[in-house]
Chains A and B, each alone.
Chain A
Amino acid sequence: MKDSFFSKKNRRLITDPFDGQNPITVQVLGICSALAITVQLQQALIMALSVVVVMICGNMIVSLLRNVIPSRIRIIVQLVVVSALVVLVDLVLKAFLPDMSEKLSVFVGLIVSNCIIMGRLEAFALGNKLWPSFLDGLGNAIGYGWILLAVAFFREFLGSGKIFGYQIVPDGWYEAGGGFYLNNNLMILPPMALIVVGLIIWVQRSRNRELIEDN
C-alpha cells in the first residue's frame, strides 16, 4: 500500500481528533490530567506541549519497534518507552521552567499513565508505520491540548478574571474599586473542571448529533 505523505487518509489522522474522534470528549482518554491542571492557561499550555512531545516521540518509537515487541509483554515495553520520555520532559522542565515544574508537581509524572498515550500506542502505533503514527500522535495530542486550553480559559477567566496571568476584568469593576463584580471562586475548585468539561461535551454533541449516545 503506497500512500503519499498527505493523502486524504493521512490528513484525516490529524483532523479527526479535533472533533469527531476527540480524545477527551469522545474517546474518554486522558481525563485525569485534563482536570487537575486547568486552573490557569499557562499551566495547561505547558502540559499540552509536554503531552505533544511525549505522544509524538512515543508513537514513533513504538511504531519502529512494533515488529520486535512480543505481545505478551508489550504493556511493559510501552510503559518503559513512555516513562523514559516523560523523565526527559520532566528534567527539561525542571531545568528551564522550575516554577512551572513545581506547580505541575506529580502531574508531569502522571503523563506516563495518561491513558491517551497508552491508548494511542495500543490502538494505533503498534499496527502502523512510522509516518501515520507520527500524524496520529500529533493529531491526538493537539485534540487533547485544545480541550485543555478551552477548559483552562473558562476557569481562569471566570475564576480569577485573568487570561494567561494578565488582568482582563478592569479593576474598577471589583468591589475594592467601587464596582459590583466578584470572581466566581467556585471555578477554581477542582470539581468545576468536571462540570466545564461536561458542558463542553454538551455543546459539542448538540452541534454534532452523530455523537449522541443512547443513555
Chain B
Amino acid sequence: MEDLVNIFIKGVFIDNMIFAYFLGMCSYLAVSKTVDTAVGLGAAVIFVLGVTVPINYLLENYLLKEGSLSWLGSGYENLDLSYLSLIMFIAVIASMVQLVEMIIEKFSPSLYSSLGIFLPLIAVNCSILGGALFMQERQYSTIVEATSFALGSGVGWFLAIVAIAAIREKIRYSNVPGPLRGLGITFIITGLMGLGFMCFMGIKI
C-alpha cells in the first residue's frame, strides 16, 4: 500500500509530466485560457490515462515482452514482439478514446458537451502515449502499481494545467508587452514554474 502511495506522489510531483518531461504541452498551451476548460481537459486526461495504461500494461506483459507469450505453451517462449509495442499502444489509445467518446455521448450528454471537444484531442496528447512508454521503461511489477503511476501522472498534469489557466486568467489584467502576449508569456511562465518544480527532483520517497 505504501508503495502505491509513493508511486502516486512521485507521478504527481517529482516526475510531473509537464514540468519534468514536457509531455502534453500542445493541449496544455492551447486549452489553458480559462480554468473551466482546463479542469475539463485535465479530468479527461486523468480518466484516459487511468484506463489506457492498465490495458497497455496487460498487452505489454502478456503479448509483447520477450517471453510473455509463454502462456500459449512451449514454442512461443522466445518470441519477442516488442517492436510492435508502439503501434499496439497507439491503437489501444486511439480506440479507447473513440470508445469513451461514444459511451459518454450516449450516457451523459451534459458531460459530453463539456468534455466532448477535448476527447479527440487527447488521442494525440503526448502525455498519454508517454505514460504508456514510461510504464514500459520502468517495468512496474503489478498492474495496480501501473495504474497508480497512471493516476499520479494524470493528477500531476491536471494540477499543471489548472495552475497555468489560473495564472493566465489573472495575467489578463496586466500590461504584458504586445508581442509577448498570449503564447509568449505562457511559455515563459511555464518555464519559471518548471524551474520551481525542479526543487522536487532527486527526492527519494
Contacts and interface: CB of A to CB of B under 8 A. Distances in A.
Category for how many chain B residues contact A: 35 or more
A202 interface: yes
Given A75-B123, A118-B124, A205-B179, A190 B194 contact: yes
Contacts of A83: 86-87, 90-91
A194 B195 CA distance: 10
A154 B98 CA distance: 41
Contacts of B117: none
Contact of B22 (A35, A203, A214): A35
Contacts of A115: 26-27, 124, 126
- Among B124, B137, B192: residue with most chain A CB under 10 A: B124
B91 A112 contact: no
A206 B179 contact: yes
A84 B128 CA distance: 18
Nearest to B172: A215
A32 interface: yes
Interface residues of A, number: 52
B187 A112 contact: no
A73 interface: yes
Contacts of B178: 205-206, 209, 212
B194 A215 contact: no
B185 A198 contact: yes
B51 interface: no
Given A76-B94, A83-B90, A198-B187, A213 B195 contact: no
B187 A76 contact: no
Contact of A213 (B24, B87, B183): B183
Interface string B170-205: 011000111111111111101111110010000000
Contacts of B194: 190-191, 194
A35 B195 contact: no
Which 8 A-B pairs give the minimum distances between C-beta atoms?
Answer: A191-B194, A213-B182, A198-B187, A194-B191, A205-B179, A195-B191, A198-B188, A31-B25
7 contacts: A36-B21, A75-B123, A109-B133, A110-B130, A115-B27, A201-B187, A213-B181
Given A114-B124, A198-B188, 10 more contacts: A25-B183, A33-B126, A106-B130, A106-B133, A106-B134, A113-B90, A113-B125, A114-B126, A197-B187, A205-B184
Interface of B: 19-27, 29-30, 83, 86-87, 90-91, 93-95, 97-98, 120, 123-126, 128-130, 133-134, 137, 171-172, 176-188, 190-195, 198
